[in-house]
Amino acid sequence: MWGILRRSAVDGGGGFSASSLRRTRFALVSARSYAAGSKEMTVRDALNSAIDEEMSADPKVFVMGEEVGQYQGAYKITKGLLEKYGPERVYDTPITEAGFTGIGVGAAYAGLKPVVEFMTFNFSMQAIDHIINSAAKSNYMSAGQINVPIVFRGPNGAAAGVGAQHSQCYAAWYASVPGLKVLAPYSAEDARGLLKAAIRDPDPVVFLENELLYGESFPISEEALDSSFCLPIGKAKIEREGKDVTITTFSKMVGFVLKAAEKLAEEGISAEVINLRSIRPLDRATINASVRKTSRLVTVEEGFPQHGVCAEICASVVEESFSYLDAPVERIAGADVPMPYAANLERLALPQVEDIVRAAKRACYRSK
């Protein structure tokens, strides 16, 4: 009985199209599942409320970036903050990433807690020296004298039809740097909990959002709506339990993997879906424990394949759980090309649900 209830709850919690019947069953299951079911929240509102609450709680927190104030945010994430907190807490910057990022890091050196927005992380490349050399390494080089409690946030990865210069995923680049923390939320709960944790964190955090997720609604629990809610940094979430194959991913791809898991379930393959949430520190323990259970791994990401997050996960599993693997690790990633514009080519350049299903079947030695 409990087993059935739990499965329904996990199925229902996995997608954002849970039926009301499943929602009722939810209420009977432990808090480990998604929402109590009655409230929904978009990722946009989740991020906005997180920043709002942290600004309210700590006067040292301020927001800085292009169009974050009067324009209400290029993607409306900072909507209403200028009106609420005034121009001394919300700063519209000129289009000068190197300059304003350096200023943000300097403010963090001196004890403030900046939340610096990049309109997309593609533009962070103009400021990457400050993120890495000025922020990430300072605590180490100064042997603990200068810590940098800054958050760099903004949309990461592909949007829709924005072309090669506006579609890159930077998770692998930033996550390779010691001294940085790199987070990637998926749901509204992830967005709230991880952003609040990031703003409170005394170290520099790169917070990778996704433009296409901003408008998506997710069920959200009362607990997650509380102003003290925080998610732990460095811990992955098992979105869906399974026993045949482990599928890891982060950000927008979590939705795709969950859909793939549904399709696989119809064919009798039970997939365990891991939402990484934290790219650095990477939750190797959860990933390896899952692979030791299922013996098969598919890693999924949207970014370029070479030297990507998937490559690191594969290496970790081969190093720590080699004898448990029954099949080679499968990797589904963005195509190894700059992002094309034409809709059909763009579709080919990004992982699709069918790619994930195919890879999982390969890992299970099932033919098409």
Partner 1 sequence: MALSRLTSRSNGISRPLSTAFGRFISTDTTPITIETSLPFTAHLCDPPSRSVESSTQELLDFFRTMALMRRMEIAADSLYKAKLIRGFCHLYDGQEAVAIGMEAVITKKDAIITAYRDHCIFLGRGGSLYEVFAELMGRQDGCSKGKGGSMHFYKKDSSFYGGHGIVGAQVPLGCGIAFAQKYVKEEAVTFAMYGDGAANQGQLFEALNISALWDLPSILVCENNHYGMGTAEWRAAKSPSYYKRGDYVPGLKVDGMDAFAVKQACKFAKEHALKNGPIILEMDTYRYHGHSMSDPGSTYRTRDEISGVRQERDPIERIKKLVLSHDLATEKELKDMEKEIRKEVDDAIAKAKDCSMPEPSELFTNVYVKGFGTKSFGADRKEVKAALP
At closest approach, how far in Å is the CB of 183 from partner 1? 13
* Residues numbered 177-196 forming contacts with partner 1, rule: CB under 8 A: 178-179, 181
Three-class SS state of 301: coil
Using rule CB under 8 A, residue 108 touches partner 1: yes
Assess 98 for contact with partner 1 (CB under 8 A).
Answer: yes
1 binds partner 1 (CB under 8 A): no
DSSP letters, 13-64, are HHSS---HHHHHHHTTS-TTSS--SS-EEEHHHHHHHHHHHHHHH-TTEEEE
First to last CA, the chain: 34
* Angle (deg, nearest 10), helices 309-321 and 284-294: 60
**Contact with partner 1 (CB under 8 A): which of 26, 34, 85, 109?**
109
Nearer to partner 1 among residue 106 and residue 305 (C-beta): 106
What's the CA gap between 285 and 294, in Å, rounded?
Answer: 14
Instruction: Output the DSSP codes for 152-193.
Output: EEEE-S--SS--GGG----HHHHHTSTT-EEE---SHHHHHH
Of the candidates 256, 314, 309, 255, which has an alpha carbon nearest to the alpha carbon of residue 280? 309
Q: Using the rule CB under 8 A, give the single segment among 71-79, 156-164, 198-206, 306-314 that binds partner 1.
A: 198-206
Please identify, among the stretches 16-24, 213-221, 229-237, 286-294, the one whose residues bind partner 1 according to the rule CB under 8 A.
229-237
Does 174 contact partner 1 by CB under 8 A? no
Please report whether residue 71 would count as binding partner 1 according to CB under 8 A. no
CA distance 350 to 210: 14
Size of the site for partner 1 (CB under 8 A): 47
Least distance to partner 1, CB of residue 214, Å = 28
Q: How far apart are CA 147 and CA 143, in angstroms?
A: 9
Q: Which is nearer to partner 1, 18 or 61 (CB)?
A: 61
> Kind and range of the H or E element at 75?
none
Q: Does 268 bind partner 1 (CB under 8 A)?
A: no
Under rule CB under 8 A, residue 62 binds partner 1? yes
Contact 147, 203 (CB under 8 A): yes
Instruction: Map tokens 């081969």 to a residue.
Output: 318
Select 288 or 290, whichever has its Cβ closest to partner 1. 288
- Interface map 292-321 toward partner 1 (x if CB under 8 A): ---------------------------x--
- The single residue among 80, 232, 328, 338 that binds partner 1, judged by CB under 8 A, is 232
What number of other Cβ atoms are within 10 A of residue 16's Cβ? Answer: 16
**Partner residues linked to 332 by β-bridges:** 300
CA 302 to chain centroid: 12
Tell whether residue 142 is a contact of partner 1 (CB under 8 A): yes
Residues recognised as catalytic: 97, 166
Does the footprint of partner 1 cover residue 111 (CB under 8 A)?
A: yes
Tokens of 179: 């001294």
The footprint of partner 1 (CB under 8 A) covers 62, 88, 91, 93-94, 96, 98-112, 129-130, 133-134, 138-147, 178-179, 181, 201-203, 232-234, 281, 284, 319
